[in-house]
């Protein structure tokens, strides 16, 4: 994994949210969403035995401290922090709460020396049940990481069940998706159902997750390449392809395919990982590379005739996560090969 651009986006507090080109826009500060993503990436690197630099290890430690500092005594999280280190905004249980619990759950389920600290913060935040589906889905993925290594952890089991139960039924006979439209981080929904069904011993839940993921893979394919749901979403009757397409959608799909492969042993799910790598390499609706293997930067959006040249934290981390996943899978099956 090329850490170069990620470290360029970072300072002793965390990872800056935005960039202008490849330069961080320090004036916009930090957010929990992106720091949590960085913590997930670097925790996975440790769990996979991936060699990372001392600077990256320090960033992982600082990212955990950032998440812990963002948490209020009632378990909610403030999302935004200025470059001077001051926090602003009201503690809440929205998407950033879900991603914070996701990252804390991953650390709690790892071999980190701070895993007990992360578990305590996870349990403090896991009592909340916000009304937002994505918030619960993200938190549920953190709960899955906890339950995987601590199957008797009540906070993890309760949150995992609650998150999976939050996924609605299909909205119509001809539209199996649990929402009227595809919106964002779509594949995280079937990933949650797959992981929860597997961990909780719920075969029907697992099957529903696999069926939804199979349907989503079919919907998000055009001409043999991924054509991701655009920023404005996609629903029945909408024209394809749509733009702008975001790298985070690809990462969510790759993660879900990895979960499906782990749950079933069916290697056909790894096709989703291959197509995710190909999307970043330029096999997409605009024929544009969206990741730079020489710097580790990821571009912020795919347009009809090109790409957004900014390389902010969300897109860079999305790219690095896909490369990390593909590299691990390929090297475990074909030692010595690499992914660009």
Give the burial class of 14: count Cβ atoms within 10 A of its Cβ; 0-12 exposed, 13-18 middle, 19 or more buried: buried
Domain boundaries, the chain: 1-150, 167-340
Q: CB within 8 A of 23, min separation 6: which ones? A: 8
Q: What is the pLDDT of residue 336?
A: 54
Q: What is the pLDDT of residue 296?
A: 98
In whole angstroms, what is the distance from residue 84 CA to residue 12 CA? 11
Residue 6: burial class (beta carbons within 10 Å; 0-12, 13-18, 19+):
buried
Asked whether the bond before 320 is cis by omega within 30 degrees of 0, the reply is no
Helices (H), the chain: 4-8, 32-47, 54-70, 95-108, 115-125, 133-149, 154-166, 188-200, 203-219, 247-264, 270-281, 313-333
Mind giving me the DSSP string for 169-236? PPSBTTB-SSSSSB-SSTTHHHHHHHHHHHHHT-HHHHHHHHHHHHHHHHHTEETTEE---BTT-B-T
* CATH of segment(s) 167-340: 1.50.10.20
Give me the pLDDT at residue 329, please.
87
Q: What is the pLDDT along the chain (340 residues), one digit of tens a residue?
A: 899 999 999 999 999 999 999 999 999 999 999 999 999 999 999 999 999 999 999 999 999 999 999 999 999 999 999 999 999 999 999 999 999 999 999 999 999 999 999 999 999 999 999 999 999 999 999 999 999 999 999 999 999 999 999 999 997 888 999 999 999 999 999 999 999 999 999 999 999 999 999 999 999 999 999 999 999 999 998 988 999 999 999 999 999 999 999 999 999 999 999 999 999 999 999 999 999 999 999 999 999 999 999 999 999 999 999 999 999 987 666 555 555 5
Distance of CA 222 to the CA centre of its chain: 23
Query: CB 80: neighbour CB atoms within 10 A?
Result: 17
| H or E segment to which residue 29 belongs | none
State the pTM of this model: 0.96
Phi and psi at residue 214, to the nearest 5°: -60, -45
User: How far, in Å, CA of 114 to CA of 238, rounded?
Assistant: 47
d(CA 307, CA 324): 22
Q: What pLDDT is stored for residue 339 in this prediction?
A: 53
* Number of residues written out for the chain: 340
Q: What is the pLDDT of residue 175?
A: 93
The label of the residue with tokens 């339950």 reads 147
Q: Which two tokens stand for residue 223?
A: 């001409």
Structure tokens at 286: 């605009």
Those residues with Cβ within 8 angstroms of residue 206's Cβ, 6 or more apart along the chain or in another chain? 193, 194, 197, 198, 263
């Amino acid at each position: 994994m090329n850490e170069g651009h990620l470290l360029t986006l970072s300072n002793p507090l965390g990872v800056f949210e935005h960039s202008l080109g490849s330069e961080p826009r320090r004036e916009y500060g930090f957010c929990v969403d992106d720091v949590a993503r960085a913590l997930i990436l670097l925790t996975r690197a440790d769990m996979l035995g991936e060699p990372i630099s001392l600077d990256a290890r320090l960033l992982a430690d600082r990212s955990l401290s950032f998440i812990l500092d963002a948490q209020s005594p009632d378990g909610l999280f403030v999302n935004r922090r200025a470059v001077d280190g001051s926090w602003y905004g009201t503690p809440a249980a929205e998407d950033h709460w879900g991603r914070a619990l996701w990252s804390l759950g991953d650390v709690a389920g790892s071999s980190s020396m701070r895993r007990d600290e992360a578990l305590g913060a996870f349990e403090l935040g896991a009592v909340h049940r916000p009304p937002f589906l994505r918030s619960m889905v993200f938190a549920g993925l953190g709960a899955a990481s906890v339950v995987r290594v601590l199957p008797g952890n009540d906070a993890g089991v309760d949150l995992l069940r609650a998150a999976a139960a939050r996924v609605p039924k299909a909205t119509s006979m001809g539209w199996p998706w649990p929402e009227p439209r595809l919106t964002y981080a779509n594949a995280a929904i079937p990933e949650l159902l797959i992981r929860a069904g597997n961990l909780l011993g719920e075969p029907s839940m697992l099957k529903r997750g696999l069926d939804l993921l199979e349907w989503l893979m079919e919907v998000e394919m055009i001409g043999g390449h991924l054509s991701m749901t655009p920023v404005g979403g996609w629903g029945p009757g909408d024209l394809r392809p749509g733009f702008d397409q975001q790298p985070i959608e690809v990462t969510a799909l790759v993660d879900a395919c990895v979960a499906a492969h782990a749950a079933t042993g069916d290697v056909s799910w790894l096709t989703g990982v291959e197509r995710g790598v190909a999307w970043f390499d330029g096999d997409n609706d605009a024929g544009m590379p969206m990741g730079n293997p020489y710097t580790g930067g990821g571009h912020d959006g795919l347009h009809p005739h090109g790409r957004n040249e900014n390389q902010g934290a969300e897109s860079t981390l999305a790219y690095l996560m896909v490369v990390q996943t593909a590299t691990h899978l390929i090297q475990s099956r074909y030692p010595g090969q690499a992914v660009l």
